[in-house]
Amino acid sequence: MPEENTAPATTAPAESGYDVGKLEGVEKAAILLLSLTEEDAAQILKHLEPKQVQRLGQAMAQIDDMTQPKITAVHKHFIDEIQKYSTIGFQSQDFVKRALTSALGEDKAANLIDQILMGTGAKGLDSLKWMDSKQVASIIRNEHPQIQTIVMSYLDAEQSAEILAQFPEKVRLDLMMRVANLEEVQPAALQELNEIMEKQFAGQAGTQAAKMGGLKSAADIMNYLDTNIEGQLMDAIREQDEEMSQQIQDLMFVFDNLAEVDDRAIQAILREVQQDALLKAIKGADEALKTKITANMSKRAADMLLDDLEALGPVRLSEVEAAQKEILSVARRLADAGEIMLGGGGGDEFL
């Protein structure tokens, strides 16, 4: 894509006549999986993260127009994309091990390598990643707060936020303060917790203390909370420790922070966002962010968006906040996948 062209990239129609560029990435992945046998699809799904499986499952269930031109277009697009990487050597276990270790570090990569290359199932704390958040909350509800804290620090921030929302307000405050103050967990404690959850850890517990929790972890969890819960919790933290509340606030990435993200990241986010959600989200945005977004769209798309925004009547604040949370969730997912970089309020911190 030329540097001066800031409009989101599009994909030309395939030979089938169907424009695959109209489909979101998750829709293309869903169509590709539905084209396979159940066994082959299952082999792919087992290597994905829980949240990815959930999104793909929802997309697969919602597809009701599996026409042959659409299937053919998706297949051709997939082949064209995969050929770009044909020389990397995806079949090499050594490549996978080196890549994961380089990206995640030895401790974090060890368990993931076991599951991908050795075919082992999720056990211990990892098994919680595949459970519904309400189910996890039920499992740990009667455990000691320190155990609850370790679980919340270990799981992804989005899932931890959903779990936290299941607890009473006073418990949320206690847990968030504990998460923010946690720095590391001794291997014996991790091993014991894994045995409590499911006999033993998938891949043996390390010999070094595991770093988890802390202010950044607390900020990440806060980012995913419902706006009302987030506000109540932040107020409660501020009453107990004003300095901590400010540090957490500085590390949080909120919707207005998108104005500070580079153009390529904005374009990637816009490709994944539904127009209705974008319209509601920018209803409550400042002019700087509106300008940032429209500058990264084609002139025609930007004019249409602004016209729709002007014609849009009053929107409930809860709907605006929900739409902004949805877009932030897309941004964090892309950042977690390494596709974009988001600068947090803390300056040197990145999601």
Please write the tens of the pLDDT for every residue from 308-338. 888 888 888 888 888 888 888 888 788 777 7
Using an 8 Å Cβ cutoff, are 242 and 197 in contact?
A: no
DSSP reduced 3-state for 167: coil
Q: Which residue would you say has higher pLDDT here, 185 or 24?
A: 24
Q: Is the pLDDT of residue 10 over 80?
A: no
pLDDT of residue 107: 54
pLDDT of residue 167: 92
Structure tokens at 203: 């891949």
Using an 8 Å Cβ cutoff, are 138 and 181 in contact?
A: no
Model pTM score:
0.42
Q: Is the pLDDT of residue 1 over 60?
A: no
Using an 8 Å Cβ cutoff, are 232 and 165 in contact?
A: no
Q: Tell me how far apart the alpha carbons of residues 228 and 232 are, in angstroms, rounded to a whole number.
A: 6
Span 162-166, mean pLDDT?
Answer: 90
Q: Tell me how far apart the alpha carbons of residues 8 and 198 are, in angstroms, rounded to a whole number.
A: 46
**How many Å is the maximal CA-CA distance in the chain?**
63
Going by the DSSP 8-state scheme, the letter that residue 290 receives in this structure is H
When pLDDT is cut at 50, 70 and 90, the band that residue 99 belongs to is low
pLDDT of residue 66: 75
pLDDT in tens, 277-312: 888 888 878 888 888 899 998 899 888 888 888 888
φ/ψ region of 269 (left if φ > 0, alpha if ψ in -120 to 50, else beta) reads: alpha
- From residue 312, how far is each of 285, 299, 307, 309 by CA, in Å? 14, 20, 9, 5
Residue with tokens 């046998």: 37
